[in-house]
């Protein structure tokens, strides 16, 4: 019921254009529905996959200290320091933790904020949005739907056609040039 209320609140809040209730939570069996893509960014279909849950010690072995702090502890890298803030190459951005494809460079834009910004995710099923009341403000936090990694926040001040700005941390992403295979996690 809480998830439905959160979804309805988000729908009323204007950020809902790219959010569905299926992206907000995994089903009872610990699975989540994500959309998969080939190396060129073409949608290959949807799949019901296991939700990835690991203890912090395992994430710490897999990730750098900065990646762990950002993705597992909801940290934020300093603006203009991330490796993808000024990346203009053509390709796909995937979750650094589980390799779920999240964003396409075709939706990346220069926001002037110092973080890579996108006007929509590659598939609404691949991200989850939840309310974040940290730091004395209310924001919409973006997480990977498969592994619950903190990616950044979404705001309603982006360009057309969605008017959304998915402001992401480079430390949460892995970029693969279009046409190249992603390394598996």
Catalytic residues: 167
Helix, strand, coil in percent for the chain, rounding step 5: 25, 30, 45
Q: Give the residue from 34, 30, 35 showing the smallest Cα distance to 50.
A: 30
CB atoms near residue 38 (< 10 Å)? 12
* Residues 168, 115: Cα–Cα separation, whole Å: 6
Strands (E), 96-157: 101-104, 108-109, 117-118, 127-132, 139-144, 150-155
Distance of CA 95 to the CA centre of its chain: 7
Cis check for the bond before 161: say yes or no (omega within 30 of 0). Answer: yes
């Amino acid at each position: 019921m809480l998830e439905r209320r959160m979804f309805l609140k988000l729908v009323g809040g204007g950020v809902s254009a790219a959010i569905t209730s299926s992206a907000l939570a995994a089903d009872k069996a610990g699975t989540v529905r994500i959309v998969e893509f080939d190396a060129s960014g073409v949608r290959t279909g949807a799949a019901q996959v296991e939700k990835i849950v690991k203890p912090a010690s395992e994430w710490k072995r897999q990730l750098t200290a900065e990646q762990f702090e950002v993705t597992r502890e909801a940290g934020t890298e300093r603006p203009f320091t991330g490796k993808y803030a000024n990346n203009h190459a053509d390709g796909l951005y995937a979750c650094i933790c589980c390799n779920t494809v999240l964003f396409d460079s075709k939706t990346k834009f220069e926001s002037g904020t110092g973080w890579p910004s996108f006007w929509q995710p590659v598939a609404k099923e691949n991200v989850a949005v939840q309310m974040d009341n940290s730091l004395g403000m209310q924001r919409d936090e973006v997480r990977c739907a498969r592994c619950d990694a903190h990616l950044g926040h979404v705001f309603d001040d982006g360009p057309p056609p969605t008017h959304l700005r998915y402001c992401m941390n480079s430390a949460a992403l892995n970029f693969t040039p279009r046409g190249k295979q992603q390394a598996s996690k």
